[in-house]
Amino acid sequence: GEDVEQSLFLSVREGDSSVINCTYTDSSSTYLYWYKQEPGAGLQLLTYIFSNMDMKQDQRLTVLLNKKDKHLSLRIADTQTGDSAIYFCAETKPGGYQKVTFGTGTKLQVIP
């Protein structure tokens, strides 16, 4: 299967950490991505991780990959109201690096 699944909605208070989860079914995935979509805009790449990595940190963002469980997470530290958006998990596969399969998206609401 090629499904990439995410929970639909997450609500957090400003200043707390947010954790957005994603599960995928294809163990041959090579790159895994997190994209952000703000209202009325297209998707924008936040960060990505190669499948041979377990963790990647980039300022307030931490990506964790558990290949055994096919689970990917995005942690946003000190969540701000500007982080309110829809977050998409995505993957590519060997030989099809350009064909990106997106998850259903998680809408993050940050409460002031």
Region label for 33, one of left (φ > 0), alpha (ψ between -120 and 50) or beta (otherwise): beta
Q: Which is nearer to other proteins, 45 or 53 (CB)?
A: 45
Binding mask 34-63 for other proteins (x = CB under 8 A): ------xxxxxx--x---------------
74 binds other proteins (CB under 8 A): no
Sequence length of the chain is 112
- What three-state secondary structure class fits 81? helix
* Residues contributing to the site for other proteins (CB under 8 A): 31, 40-45, 48, 88, 92, 97-105
